[in-house]
Amino acid sequence: MKIVKVLGGIITVLVCSFMGLMVSYRYAVRPMQIKCLRSALQMLETEIYYSLTPLPEALYGVGKRFENEIGRFFLYTSRLMTGKEMLTAQEAWEKSLNWLWENSFLTKSDIDILKNFGFNLGCSDREEQIKHFKLVQQQLLHQEGNAEKEREKNERMWRHMGFWSGLLIVIILS
Amino acid sequence: MELISAQKAGGNFNKGMLDRRILEICSTPLRRILERLPASIINNFQELRLRQERPLCLRCVQDEFFVTIDGRVTRNPREAYFITKSDIEKIFLNLTRSSVYTLDEELRSGFITISGGHRVGFTGEAVLQNGRVKSLKNVTSINIRISREVEGCADPVMPLIIDPVLNTVYHTLIISPPGCGKTTLLRDIVRQISNGIPSMGFKGVNVGLVDERSEIAACYNGVPQHDVGLRTDVLDRCPKAEGMYMLVRSMAPHVIATDELGRAEDIAAVEEVLNAGIKLITTVHGADLEDIKKRPVIEQLLKKTLFHRIIILSGTKAVGTVEDVVDGLKGRSLLKKVKRGGEDCKSFGRNYNRSGL
């Protein structure tokens, strides 16, 4: 009987610690993903402004260079534009943003910024495009700062909180 | 040989089906309508006119129809399908592959050549920079010009413009009103002299083609979409005068072909070409010889009797009726000589019909 109790206690502590770690991971990853997104967009900007690469190829080229969700997001957008669907840049961008929203730790406000950016993607001349890129970079930089602050505040707390709360539950119940 | 047949297969149409490459750029509602069009119309129309908030319009050789939402043709504009803003936007984005920034030059010139060689022209609101057109925005009208190759349409005139003894061609000028097959004829002449004509004992020669408006070879990403011959080098989207100089310097062509002469600087370039011993084949807009003499630039050229052969086209009976072929040096008609061969020699309209136009 005692063994069961001890085992149950250990499991409870482990599960709680794990949940805490998950939450703290979320806070740790978001700034990294925003940073990655920013450098990807920077590359896209270069492709557009200096090489005048058409969007599907530019998105593909950028996507290839990142082996994470951000890279896959770009590749997916490119595939939507060239594949059977033949979507316009706006439609493809929006569709793959939905995918990104489900598969990354970006928040709603990050996605909204990207969504607004997508409306103007590819449908104006070079100079105009650059303005939109500058704007989105600025907004994302701001988001990154916020995400960083939240990480500092919450990451460590959640990491420990999981373990301690698990322990608390075990103590109360026993 | 395989190369040629492959090119032919790429250039030709499925009868009764609109070119897939045109359907691909259309918005979904528009695509549905166009897919339902009767084959007789599809084989005949030349232009697809799309204007925002106005009826969908098809232009055939000398006729015009509106199209209803279920793909019927009608003459009553009220029954027609009205083009929506989203139709135009979608087509424009598909055309540019959502990369408007890559097409600054094309937007300034007002047209894009799509795969298959079809030309899409558009108008909208001009964006100015220092008083010059920089780009276009808010596009509201789109004109899709169906491009068709008519191989063999130059057959009736070929014997008149080649010199079998020296294995060369004469300097030739084609005069025609717009839409009467001038470019089509020029393209076939280029193809034939580039490939050679075995039946006339004519060996193919190097041809340099200055294609300022991407109409003759219809290059898409620099690759000719039409068959312009084995020995043809194409300078795409290049201003004529400059292009002619470039070709003389770089490609040593035997013949230079170009479309729509008319600017003052063209004359100097033409003379340069002629002095280099290169034969020239070119076209000009106009109804007949008298008509083009009113234009100072062309008159200057004619006065110098630079052209040995002048072909006059008209669209009175069918597209591409050869009205006359004039010997530029002696000023007399050459057509009587061929007329013996029958009516076929006089017009390539019948060939046109055979090819489904």
Residue A4 falls within a domain, yes or no? no
| Contact (CB<8Å) B99/A54 | yes
Residue B7 falls within a domain, yes or no? no
Q: What is the 3-state secondary structure (H, E, C) of A43-81?
A: HHHHHHHHHCCCHHHHHHHHHHCCCCHHHHHHHHHHHHH
Residue A148 falls within a domain, yes or no? yes
Residue B153 falls within a domain, yes or no? no
Q: Which residues contact B260 (CB under 8 A, 6 or more apart)?
A: B212, B213, B240, B282, B283, B284, B285
pLDDT value of position A130: 93
Residues B89 and B181 in one domain: no
Contacts of B27 in chain A (CB under 8 A): none
Residues B170 and B39 in one domain: no
Residue A2 falls within a domain, yes or no? no
Contacts of A129 in chain B (CB under 8 A): 101
Query: Is the pLDDT confidence value at A142 over 90?
Result: yes
Q: State how far residue B90 is from chain A, nearest Cα, in angstroms.
A: 7
Residues B127 and B204 in one domain: no
Chosen for mutation from A78, A95, A125, A126 (greatest number of chain B CBs closer than 10 Å) is A125
**CATH number for the domain harbouring residue B71:** 3.30.450
Instruction: Provide the number of structural domains found in chain B.
Output: 2
Question: What average pLDDT does range A19-41 have in this prediction?
Answer: 92
Determine how β-strand B255-258 pairs with β-strand B279-285. Answer: parallel
Query: Is the pLDDT confidence value at B354 over 80?
Result: no
Residues B107 and B228 in one domain: no
Contacts of A126 in chain B (CB under 8 A): 101, 104
Residues B135 and B185 in one domain: no
Residue A100 falls within a domain, yes or no? yes
Task: Find the angle CA(B94)-CA(B96)-CA(B99) to the nearest 5 degrees.
Answer: 115
Task: Confirm if A125 and B134 have CB atoms less than 8 A apart.
Answer: yes
Kindly state whether B100 is in contact with chain A, defined as any CB-CB distance less than 8 angstroms: yes
Residue A65 falls within a domain, yes or no? yes
Residue whose structure tokens are 């084989």: B43
Structure tokens at B251: 């490609």
Which of B11-25, B285-299, B324-338 is predicted with the least confidence, judged by mean pLDDT? B11-25
Residue B101 falls within a domain, yes or no? yes
Determine phi and psi for B162, rounding to 5 degrees: -105, 150
Dihedral angle over CA of B4, B9, B15, B20, nearest 10? -140
Per-residue pLDDT tens digits for B17-43: 677 888 888 888 898 898 888 888 887
Contacts of A81 in chain B (CB under 8 A): 97-98
pLDDT value of position B17: 65
Q: Which residues contact B28 (CB under 8 A, 6 or more apart)?
A: B90
Rounded Cα distance between B11 and A167, Å, is: 76
Residues B247 and B174 in one domain: yes
Which of B115, B145, B175 is a domain's end point?
B145
pLDDT value of position B351: 41
DSSP B292-324: HHTSHHHHHHHHTT--SEEEEEE-SSSTTEEEE
Q: Which of residues 27-86 of B touch A (CB under 8 A)?
A: none
List alpha helices for chain B, DSSP H. 2-11, 20-25, 28-36, 39-42, 85-95, 104-109, 158-161, 182-195, 240-250, 264-275, 289-293, 296-303, 335-339, 343-346, 349-354
Kindly state whether B90 is in contact with chain A, defined as any CB-CB distance less than 8 angstroms: yes
From the list A90, A122, A128, which residue is nearest B99 (CB)?
A122
Per-residue confidence band for A14, with pLDDT thresholds at 50, 70 and 90? very high
Q: State how far residue B30 is from chain A, nearest Cα, in angstroms.
A: 15
| Contact (CB<8Å) A54/B137 | no
Contacts of B102 in chain A (CB under 8 A): 52-54
Residues B129 and B278 in one domain: no
Chosen for mutation from B102, B115, B134 (greatest number of chain A CBs closer than 10 Å) is B102
* Structural domain range at position B205: 158-354
Residue B5 falls within a domain, yes or no? no
**CATH number for the domain harbouring residue B247:** 3.40.50.300
Which of B145, B167, B184 is a domain's end point?
B145
Strand-pairing partners, residue B280, are: B256
One-letter amino acid of A142: H
Query: Is the pLDDT confidence value at B334 over 80?
Result: no
DSSP B210-252: EETTS-SS-EETTEESS---TTEEEEET--HHHHHHHHHHHT-
| Contact (CB<8Å) B102/A52 | yes
Rounded Cα distance between B352 and B347, Å, is: 9
From the list B98, B104, B137, which residue is nearest A55 (CB)?
B98
From the list A81, A88, A121, which residue is nearest B90 (CB)?
A88
Residues B208 and B91 in one domain: no
Task: Confirm if B195 and B229 have CB atoms less than 8 A apart.
Answer: yes
Q: Which of residues 238-297 of B touch A (CB under 8 A)?
A: none
Per-residue pLDDT tens digits for A35-77: 999 999 999 999 999 888 889 999 999 999 999 999 999 999 9
The alpha carbon of residue A19 and the mean position of all alpha carbons in its chain are separated, in whole angstroms, by 20
Residue B284 falls within a domain, yes or no? yes
Residue A9 falls within a domain, yes or no? no
Chosen for mutation from B101, B103, B221 (greatest number of chain A CBs closer than 10 Å) is B101
Residues B185 and B291 in one domain: yes
Residue A164 falls within a domain, yes or no? no
Question: What average pLDDT does range B333-352 have in this prediction?
Answer: 48
Contacts of B98 in chain A (CB under 8 A): 54-56, 81, 88-90, 92, 121-123
pLDDT value of position B352: 41
Determine how β-strand B223-224 pairs with β-strand B279-285. Answer: unpaired
* Structural domain range at position A80: 35-157
| Contact (CB<8Å) B134/A125 | yes
Per-residue pLDDT tens digits for B166-202: 888 999 999 888 777 788 889 999 999 999 988 888 8
Residue B84 falls within a domain, yes or no? yes
Structure tokens at A129: 């495009």
Instruction: Provide the number of structural domains found in chain A.
Output: 1
Task: Confirm if B266 and B291 have CB atoms less than 8 A apart.
Answer: no
Residues B128 and B230 in one domain: no
Residue B9 falls within a domain, yes or no? no
Residue A174 falls within a domain, yes or no? no
pLDDT value of position B16: 56
Chosen for mutation from A88, A94, A128 (greatest number of chain B CBs closer than 10 Å) is A88
Which of B145, B174, B196 is a domain's end point?
B145
